[in-house]
Every structure is written in C-alpha cells, then in structure tokens.
Structure 1
Amino acid sequence: MNRDKEKLINWIETHQEEMIQFLQEIVQIPSDNPDGDCVPIAHFIYEKLRQFGFEQVSFLEVDQEQVKAAGMKSLVNLVSSSVFGDGTGKTIVLNAHGDVVPPGLGWTFNPYGGELSAGKMYGRGAAVSKSDIAAYTFALLALKKLKMKEELNGQVDLAFTFDEETGGELGPKWLLDKNYISPDLAIAAGFTHSIVNAHNGCLHLEIKITGKSAHAALPNTGADAIAAGANILQALYKYRKTLEFKKSETLGIDYPTLVVGLISGGINTNVVPDSCTIRLDRRLIPEEAVHEVEEEIKKIVHHAAHSIDGIKAEVNRILYAESFGPVPTDSQLINVLSANWRSVLKRKEEPRVNGVPLYADARHFYAKGIPTVMFGAGPRTLEEANGHRADENIRITDLISAAKITACTLYDFLTLKK
C-alpha cells in the first residue's frame, strides 16, 4: 500500500466517530417507504454534506404527479459532484438509498434509535442502506481533505436517492435519464465482505378475477370468484415447485421463486363473491426472459380460471425490475476493488464475488452499459444484518472498512493515467 492510501486510511480512522455520528443521525430520521415521505431526511443529508465541505450539492425535486403515481408522498434526489484535477479522468458514481421498509414488529431496540451495543449499531436502515451513505460520504471526504502525492484527476458523484424500496425508477434511473449523472463506473450499495456482480429480476403481477354475485342460500346462481382464486392458487403453487429445477449459473443465485403476497375479495359473508384479487412476486434469475415468464403465468392462470363457468381472469403487470449482471469476475472494477479489499483487511484470499437473489438499484446503471458492482457497508449476507427484519444492525468495523476500501478504490481510478 502506498503512502497516499495510508493517509486515506488514517484520516478515516481519525474521523470515524464523526462518520458513526452521521449514520446515527440519519437512522434516527424516519424514512419509511411506504409512505415514502423522504424529503426530511434528504434535507438533513443535504445540509450535512454542505457542512462537511461539499461545495456542489444539488437538491433535485421530482414532479409530484410522478411521485404520487409511484405511491410516494414526496421525493427528491441528492447529487454532489467533486471534481479532481481538470476533471478529464474517470467519473465514478457512488449510489445509496435513504428510504427504508417500515420497521414492523419484534424489535428489542428502538428502530429509530441508532443505538450502539456490542460493536454494532441498531436501527431501520442501519445496514440497508444508510450505512452506505455514511461510508461513501467519508470515503470521498478523505480524498477531498488530503493532499495526495499523486495528482488526482476525474470526478466522483455522490448520488443519494430515496425510492429504492419502490423500484428506483424516480431515483437512479431518473438521474441517468435526465443526465444529472453520467458515470464511467458505478458502485452501488452492497456489503463489505463480498462484491456483488449480479442480482435477480423481479416481476409483480396482479390477477383480477371477476365472477357473479348471488345470495349465499343460492350459490349455484352465482359464479364464485374466490373459488376460482383457490383453483388459481393451487395451480400457481404447483408451478412454484417446478422452479426449483431451473438453476442459475451465477454464484449466489440459486433458482427462481414465486410468492403470493396479497389476496383480497368478496362482498359480505352471506354473498357469493364476485371479485377476487391476487398479487404475486416472481423473482427471475439472470438467464430468464421476462416476456416468457409472464406468458407462462398467464397461461396457468387462464387455464385454472376457466374451470369454473362465468369466471373471467385478467393478469396485469404491476412492476418489473430487470436483473443485473452477471458482471465478469475479471472486470477492471472488480479487480481494483478486490486488491484494495485484500490490502485494507489484510487478507490473502480474494473476496467472494457473487450474485444475490434480491433486486436493487444497481440494475439501472448496468442497463445503461455502465460497469457496475454492489459494494458497501454490511456483513456477508443480508440475513446476518437482519435486513428488512427486526433489530437490523451493522457492525461498526464493517462501516469503517467499507469507507477505507471505497476511498482506496476511488484513489486508484482517479490516478489512472490517460
């Protein structure tokens, strides 16, 4: 490790308490999505970035009609650009999201407390992905505050967005489409102990079943939509079992999944139900094509629905998130990150490079042809950190290590010779 990188690591160690406090402060600001009222936390981060010395910070408001259509109350995006040298080198974006899923039940810590216990910080968003906001901010701050022996040249953009939990269409995708960011490389929120080079796609479908109401004393005069729904559910669960045999070749991604997450229907206890709605989540491995999967499910639904006279079934797409990757394991971005990972953590082995079964904002950069990986502050798996579960947490050592590795990686790309 050269002297410049040692300076970066020492600066982060010296300022780690400020980074921890910053993370605590943003964990303590509720930013649940839904409801998706994330302007308060965006305002706070904007002011903190200005206090930290970031001169160019843009507070970008999204059209309110689009925000409402996405099921959110309010939305802005934050972009802070830091130019080094004449700015003609690589442009790297660091993207993390500040919206979180609601806390839910079962917490032993205050979900908005940011409490420290046994080397960990607890709170909703502590791992996913407010910790990445803190790690990326201080990684870049280290580069801005120190005079390097090597001349740095290029640009680093912090892109902090607040709609990942609803798909990222008005966050990273919006920023890319409107050219607020135009990176050569992208690092998106991830984990400290692995480099993620792929993730699943996701398809949400709504099945609307229409029948005919009738008095419960004369059920044969109606067409029972819930009974048809039960047939459809049986067919879907039978189909789900077959997915286990469709294996992905990407390490870390096993097979496609299907979950029925919502069911509603009926009028009253004494009425044959004339409507039933089913919503399902179908995860796609990178090898699958969405149109083939969608047609497959439509055929299953229509075949099952037609087993009852007078029933109509309509299948509509609610959400589609493309899969990400797999990015080649020998890509420049992965090689540089891996080298700094080994150096900072003092490891001889290579970091694990793998896919994950969830979906995230990394796909928006990958879809634009931008070399992208997921790397940030977090454990080996989402389960370790209780991500999206009670008592979500992050190890403080992982937060600090992520900032160091990210800073050294930025340094390498900003010192690349033209």
Structure 2
Amino acid sequence: MNLNEKIDGLKEELIKASQEVVKIKSIEEEGKPGMPFGEGVSKALDKALEISASLGFRTYKEEEGYYGYAEYGEGEDYVAVLGHMDVVPEGDNWIHPPYGAEIHDGKMFGRGTLDDKAPTMAALFGLKAIKDLNMPISKKVRVIFGTNEETGSSEMHVYNKKEKAPAAGFTPDAMYPLINAEKGIRRFHVVKTLNSCNCDISIKSLKGGIRPNMVPDKCETIIAAKDTEAVVKAVKEFADKMGYNMKSEIVNGDVVLHTFGVSAHGSMPELGKNAVMHTFQFLGTILKGGCGLADYVNFFNKNVALETEGTSLKIACEDKPSGKLSLNVGVADINEGKADMWIDIRYPVTAKGEEIMNTLSKEFGKCGAKIERVEAQDPLYYAEDSKLVTTLLKVYSEQTGEEGKAYGIGGGTYAKELPNIVGFGPIFPGKPDLDHQANEYIEIDDLIMNAKIYAHTIYELAK
C-alpha cells in the first residue's frame, strides 16, 4: 500500500477529526490561568492534542497553554507543520451554522474549515499515514498547534523562546502552489481628539468592523440633527445613487444609520465592500466643514475613500515578488470626544516599513490626527531556487499534475514566525479564498488531496 492509498483509507477519520475541531468556537477571549487566549481556544487546542494522542503520536502542551504539538520519529532535527486552532469571529450571513461543520454537496462548512483547522488535520493524518506504513525518516516531525495566529501570534514568541527552530517545514495557512514572499504588515490606529460641536448635524457615535484584518461589513452610526427627516431622506437618496446598502430610522430623536458591506480578508480589501468608508462617504455630504470630525471625515474621503493601494496617501508601491501595497480600514470607533480608525496595510517585500509609516504620520497629521499603537511584522522572502521551495513545488507537481510556481501574497501566515517555513496550501488555484468570510468551506475532495500532498511533503523533508 502506498501513501495515497493509505490516506484514502483514513478519509472518514480525517473528516470526523476536522469536524470535531471546527465545531469548537475558538475566538480569542479574555485569558484565564492555563488558557491565555480564553476557554474556546484552549478547548480547540485540547481537542487537537486528544486526536493526536488517539492516532498514536507523542503530544506536548506548553504548561501555560500557549501551544501544543504532536510529534513522531527520532533525531536531533525536526520538520515542522505549523497550524493554528484559533479563528476570526464568524460574522453574519451564513447559510449553514458557522460552527456546525455540516457537509452539504461535498463541502464542509464552518469557520476554520480553510483557515486552518481542517488543513492542519489533513497534515496530521498525512503524518499518520507515514507512521502506519512505517516509512523510514531521519528527522522528527512535529505538527504544531498554535493558538493566536489571528490576533498577533504571541504564542509563537513563547514557542521560539522554549523550542529549537525547525530544519524545514510549511504552514497550511496560505494557497497553492507555494507562497515564497509575504508582504510586511503594519497595523495602527489613526486617532483624533474631537472638540464639542455645535453644528446642526453631529455624530454621537459610529462603530464599524471587528478586526483590522477584515473588511468591515457593518457600520452603525447615531446622528443628531435638527431636521432628522431630512437626514433620513438624504440617506435614501445617497444609497440609491451609489448603489449602497444603507438603512436609516429615527430612534429617540436621533437618526440611526445602518450600513452593510461585504467582508473580505484585510490583505485583499479590493474583494470586499467597506461599510465604514461607505458611511464616511455619506457623512461627507451632510457634515459641514469647520468642526474636527468633519475635517477628519473629509480627509479620509479625499485620501482613502475606496482606495485600497494607498495612492492618495502617497504610499502606493509594488514589486515583482509580492505585488502592490494594500490598505484596509478595518475598524472605526467614533464618539463625541474621539475618532479612532484601525488600519491594516500590507507592503511589498522590497519596501521599507519605517519609510511608509513616516509618510503616513505626515499625511494624517494634516487633519490633526496621530498614529498610535503600531503593530509590525516584517516581510518574508525565500528565493525560488532554494531547496525548501523546489522540494515542495516538486511534490505539488507530482501529486496534482499541475505546474508548480511560487508567488507572493499580502496575508501574513505563520511562516513569518519560524525559520525555514513557507506557506503551502490549502487553497488550490481557481478555488475561492473564503478565509475570514461568511460561508467558509472546504471541499471534501480538496481536504483529502491536501492530506496526500502534505504526507508526501513531510516524507520528502524528513526522509
């Protein structure tokens, strides 16, 4: 029996294991002793380790609960598969329960089916096939279960302090054929203190978005106005003209405006419809200049609006390995005293993050705003002729019959958190990237093919 035949025989077990982890809601919450990112994430980690132990692997859980892993084989060096058990919030508009892991028309639906609980299980079962066939390997293999990839990867800081670096490996947290270039990431708040406003129209509050790395699909604004009926009428006229999904009503003497967009991953904001910026565009038509919020809104409308490449902010750039800079306004939180926008940018691997941030500080300063709380992640790049890249592409081509080429992305994967790691699958060319979106799913056939590719890859790296 060969590897692929063995994995075909493990199909039902792999599906069941994937469903078990997807059914656990594992969004970051307030930490508890032994559960640094909350109870849900900890439960998902425990379930992954329980499954690993049932497959006959050695398991380890870091004493404070930051990470765990399944391990097989012997040797000084190890090959790593780096997955994560945390997920982003599910959001709305699901046709099947986001934590149901239900299978319909050959697809498993649920948050984490692509990003990346089920693909991590595929790698685990790929290793199970190697173990069951007693294939000779010269290195240990470790399937690592991370817990904080979506909100900072702080658990990997703990891992790097305590563990030896892998000799080689991959993370099933990207796309095929292979990701050899990952843009740098900067996340930051654009904050402005607002003075009291005596205008005929003012904003009591505006809240939109959940995370900076997601295009916001909802925004709620409470508008105080002397003529509320006129504002409601203006909303309808603007929405009809622009083709935007906006609804308003008068509640307790104020206008409550609901704007609906389409979410997408923050690394590809052009695929979404930004509810916050749609709201800003409308507010720009009713707020008169002269107050701090109007200046803030008008600045964003002039210099950001629906742009996703930073052109008007003077930071647009691109390179051959990784493509164009992207910009996403992910979260807005505005009240009568402060405006706060949380922005996510992804910049090309050859660009300089500090230079981009210096430019942005100058530009946002023009409307009296400051940049605060910057989170930084530097770019990653492996040459196309490196041994790691060529080995993985060879396996991909052999298993799929398709040409394997490396390319760059804007999404930050776990590859940045450990040396000698690249992004490899699970999304095949031509298939939709539903990471962070409603109705996330993985096709069962693709889940099995991932297990086969990962099994052969692990063996090639560890033999």
* Same fold at TM > 0.5: yes
Aligned AA (1:396): I
**Residue 72 (structure 2) aligned to one of 82, 85, 91:** 82
Task: Return closer, same or farther for 1:378/1:229 CA change in 2, 3 Å cut-off.
Answer: same
For residue 94 of structure 2, what is the aligned residue in structure 1?
107
Pairwise mapping of residues 288-303 of structure 1 onto structure 2 (< 5 A)? 288-303=351-366
Verify the 8 A CA contact 2:299 2:367 in the aligned structure 1.
yes
Alignment of 1:341 with 2:396, yes or no, is yes
CA distance in 1, matches of 2:331, 2:449: 40
Alignment of 1:47 with 2:66, yes or no, is no
Verify the 8 A CA contact 2:60 2:70 in the aligned structure 1.
yes
Residue 191 of structure 1, CA deviation: 5.1
Verify the 8 A CA contact 2:315 2:359 in the aligned structure 1.
no
Alignment of 1:357 with 2:413, yes or no, is no
CA distance in 2, matches of 1:10, 1:147: 14
For residue 65 of structure 1, what is the aligned residue in structure 2?
none
The one-character-per-residue Cα deviations of 1:101-138 (angstroms, maximum 9, x if unpaired) are 11111111111111122222111110110122211111
**Residue 378 (structure 2) aligned to one of 322, 343, 347:** 322
CA distance in 2, matches of 1:263, 1:21: 39
The one-character-per-residue Cα deviations of 1:200-240 (angstroms, maximum 9, x if unpaired) are 222111122124336558x9xxx833133224424532882
Verify the 8 A CA contact 1:204 1:318 in the aligned structure 2.
yes
Aligned AA (1:393): Y
Residue 341 of structure 1, CA deviation: 1.8
Query: What secondary structure sits across from 2:380 in the alignment?
Result: coil
Verify the 8 A CA contact 1:225 1:276 in the aligned structure 2.
no
Residue 192 of structure 1, CA deviation: 6.3
CA distance in 1, matches of 2:102, 2:194: 52
If the length of structure 2 is used for normalisation, what is the TM-score? 0.73
Relative to structure 2, which stretch is displaced further, 356-365 or 227-236? 227-236
For residue 432 of structure 2, what is the aligned residue in structure 1?
384
* RMSD value, Cα: 2.6
**Residue 31 (structure 1) aligned to one of 8, 26, 35:** 26
Task: Return closer, same or farther for 1:266/1:414 CA change in 2, 3 Å cut-off.
Answer: closer
Task: Return closer, same or farther for 1:257/1:34 CA change in 2, 3 Å cut-off.
Answer: farther
Aligned AA (1:159): I
Residue 278 of structure 1, CA deviation: 2.3
For residue 162 of structure 2, what is the aligned residue in structure 1?
178
CA distance in 1, matches of 2:130, 2:384: 27
Aligned AA (2:49): Y
**Residue 255 (structure 1) aligned to one of 320, 324, 328:** 324
The one-character-per-residue Cα deviations of 1:324-350 (angstroms, maximum 9, x if unpaired) are 21x1111112222222222222x1x42
Verify the 8 A CA contact 1:226 1:265 in the aligned structure 2.
no
CA distance in 2, matches of 1:235, 1:193: 37
CA distance in 1, matches of 2:459, 2:318: 38
Listed as ranges, the gaps of 5+ residues in structure 1 are 1-5, 63-74, 268-273, 306-312
Verify the 8 A CA contact 1:192 1:401 in the aligned structure 2.
no
For residue 181 of structure 2, what is the aligned residue in structure 1?
198
The one-character-per-residue Cα deviations of 1:117-163 (angstroms, maximum 9, x if unpaired) are 22221111101101222111111111222223xx4211111111111
Query: What secondary structure sits across from 1:11 in the alignment?
Result: helix
**Residue 296 (structure 2) aligned to one of 229, 242, 250:** 229
For residue 241 of structure 1, what is the aligned residue in structure 2?
311
CA distance in 2, matches of 1:106, 1:77: 32
CA distance in 2, matches of 1:276, 1:136: 44
Residue 26 of structure 1, CA deviation: 0.9
Pairwise mapping of residues 394-409 of structure 1 onto structure 2 (< 5 A)? 394-409=442-457
Verify the 8 A CA contact 1:92 1:156 in the aligned structure 2.
yes
Verify the 8 A CA contact 1:379 1:385 in the aligned structure 2.
no
Aligned AA (1:255): K
If the length of structure 1 is used for normalisation, what is the TM-score? 0.80
CA distance in 2, matches of 1:19, 1:241: 46
Query: What secondary structure sits across from 1:196 in the alignment?
Result: strand
Alignment of 1:332 with 2:387, yes or no, is yes
Task: Return closer, same or farther for 1:117/1:258 CA change in 2, 3 Å cut-off.
Answer: same
Alignment of 1:373 with 2:422, yes or no, is yes
CA distance in 2, matches of 1:18, 1:43: 18
**Residue 161 (structure 1) aligned to one of 140, 143, 146:** 146
Task: Return closer, same or farther for 1:130/1:58 CA change in 2, 3 Å cut-off.
Answer: same
Verify the 8 A CA contact 2:96 2:102 in the aligned structure 1.
yes
Query: What secondary structure sits across from 2:350 in the alignment?
Result: coil
Query: What secondary structure sits across from 1:260 in the alignment?
Result: strand
Aligned residues: 365
**Residue 10 (structure 2) aligned to one of 15, 19, 29:** 15
For residue 91 of structure 1, what is the aligned residue in structure 2?
78
Aligned AA (1:317): R
Aligned AA (2:296): G
For residue 134 of structure 1, what is the aligned residue in structure 2?
121
Task: Return closer, same or farther for 1:119/1:352 CA change in 2, 3 Å cut-off.
Answer: farther
For residue 187 of structure 1, what is the aligned residue in structure 2?
170
Verify the 8 A CA contact 2:310 2:316 in the aligned structure 1.
no
- Calculate percent identity across the aligned residue pairs: 25
CA distance in 1, matches of 2:299, 2:29: 29
Verify the 8 A CA contact 2:315 2:356 in the aligned structure 1.
no
Residue 34 of structure 1, CA deviation: 5.6
Aligned AA (1:58): Y
Listed as ranges, the gaps of 5+ residues in structure 2 are 31-36, 203-289
Residue 393 of structure 1, CA deviation: 0.8
Task: Return closer, same or farther for 1:193/1:314 CA change in 2, 3 Å cut-off.
Answer: closer
Task: Return closer, same or farther for 1:108/1:245 CA change in 2, 3 Å cut-off.
Answer: same
For residue 106 of structure 2, what is the aligned residue in structure 1?
119
For residue 60 of structure 1, what is the aligned residue in structure 2?
62
